[in-house]
């Protein structure tokens, strides 16, 4: 078996793309999207029809409403390919507004259900701010499952688990990027700070009985991926999926319930004050969370410009 086939023995593989052809090629269980991926997709000729249809059918609605329709259109197309779930992201500009995030999650789920998609097949992505986590806690109680994104620290991970969210997406590659820039060092395999972060979170969840799923995300190389074999899920770009499929190097399980129980990780108590303090103490986590929100906001604005330009035609 190639590395991708071996990895699927231990971990649920998720496609990190809005490209339908790539999803068909690699046959993942689930798929994730974000504003950057959708922005990239709508600028390709293959997906122009989805943009055109969303604008044509809902021309008299707001640009924001049209984008919601577009996101759901992509999600529905993806769900026609994958057997599992799709993640659809809320507007990053709502990251510090609990009430607006709740409302947006409800609106997206309503659009999916109107299209005949049960809410169990959709994960609403929300940034892992304190306000975002509180929104997810309420949505989860309504049966709206959430994927907490832009997660870089243990404080965020513990707060998400205690809120009872369905899934978190620790950003391995962006953690790696920060440490590489900060120290000037290269990291590989188990020495990678991003890999170590996901392992600590996984061990904490399994050791203390949290049901929240851990999905490693934002990978820079296949070494990071195979070092997390056994993680609940891993969301992987088409480029790295191709590299895994082209290699037959052995892949071994690196995370398991048994390993987690032996981990010396200690239990944390997280309230709002301690969350904010611990995140503030974590320079990497603070900087990457803020940067990630800014980048997603910028890509959402660019997507708005494209939709408006299409509407003016």
Instruction: List active site positions.
Output: 125
Q: What angle do CA 37, 43, 46 make, to 5 degrees?
A: 95
How many angstroms separate the Cα of 108 from the Cα of each of 71, 91, 101, 111, 167?
9, 11, 11, 5, 18
How many angstroms separate the Cα of 279 from the Cα of each of 129, 130, 172, 213, 287?
10, 10, 17, 21, 10
Angle, helix 154-162 to helix 193-207, in steps of 10 degrees: 30
Q: What angle do CA 85, 239, 295 make, to 5 degrees?
A: 70
Look at residues 146, 148, 186, 144 and name the one whose alpha carbon lies nearest to residue 170. Answer: 148
Which residues does residue 86 pair with via DSSP β-bridges, in sequence order? 31, 122
How many angstroms separate the Cα of 260 from the Cα of each of 37, 156, 197, 211, 292?
33, 19, 13, 14, 29
Which residues does residue 89 pair with via DSSP β-bridges, in sequence order? 125
Q: How far is CA 168 from the centre of its chain?
A: 7
- Distance separating alpha carbons of residues 311 and 52, to the nearest angstrom: 9
* Structure tokens given for 286: 């603070």
- Distance separating alpha carbons of residues 38 and 296, to the nearest angstrom: 11
DSSP H helices, the chain, are 3-10, 20-26, 35-42, 48-57, 63-79, 98-114, 130-141, 154-162, 172-183, 193-207, 222-226, 238-245, 257-261, 272-281, 283-311
């Amino acid at each position: 078996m190639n590395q991708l086939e071996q990895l699927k023995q231990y971990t649920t593989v998720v496609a990190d793309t809005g490209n339908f052809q790539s999803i068909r090629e690699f046959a993942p269980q689930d798929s994730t999207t974000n504003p950057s991926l959708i922005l990239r997709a709508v600028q390709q000729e293959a997906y122009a029809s989805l943009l055109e249809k969303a604008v044509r059918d809902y021309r008299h609605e707001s640009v924001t409403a049209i984008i919601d329709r577009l996101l759901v259109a992509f999600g529905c197309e993806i769900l026609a390919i994958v057997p599992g779930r799709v993640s659809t992201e809320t507007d990053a500009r709502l990251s510090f507004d609990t009430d607006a995030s709740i409302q947006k999650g409800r609106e997206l789920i309503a659009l999916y259900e109107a299209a005949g998609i049960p809410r169990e097949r959709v994960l609403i992505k929300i940034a892992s701010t304190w306000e975002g986590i509180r929104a997810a806690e309420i949505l989860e109680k309504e049966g709206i499952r959430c994927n907490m994104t832009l997660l870089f620290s243990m404080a965020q991970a513990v707060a998400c688990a205690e809120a009872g969210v369905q899934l978190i997406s620790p950003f391995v590659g962006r953690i790696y990027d920060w440490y590489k820039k900060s120290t000037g060092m290269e990291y590989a395999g188990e020495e990678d700070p991003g890999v170590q972060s996901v392992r600590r979170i996984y061990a904490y969840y399994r050791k203390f009985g949290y049901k929240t799923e851990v999905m490693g995300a934002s990978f820079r190389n296949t070494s990071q991926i195979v070092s997390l074999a056994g993680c609940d899920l891993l969301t992987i770009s088409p480029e790295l999926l191709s590299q895994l499929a082209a290699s037959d190097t052995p892949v071994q399980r690196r995370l398991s319930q048994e390993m987690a129980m032996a981990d010396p990780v200690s239990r944390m108590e997280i309230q709002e004050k301690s969350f904010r303090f611990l995140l503030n103490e974590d320079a990497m986590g603070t900087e990457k969370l803020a940067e990630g929100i800014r980048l997603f906001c910028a890509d959402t604005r660019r997507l708005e410009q494209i939709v408006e330009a299409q509407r003016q035609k």
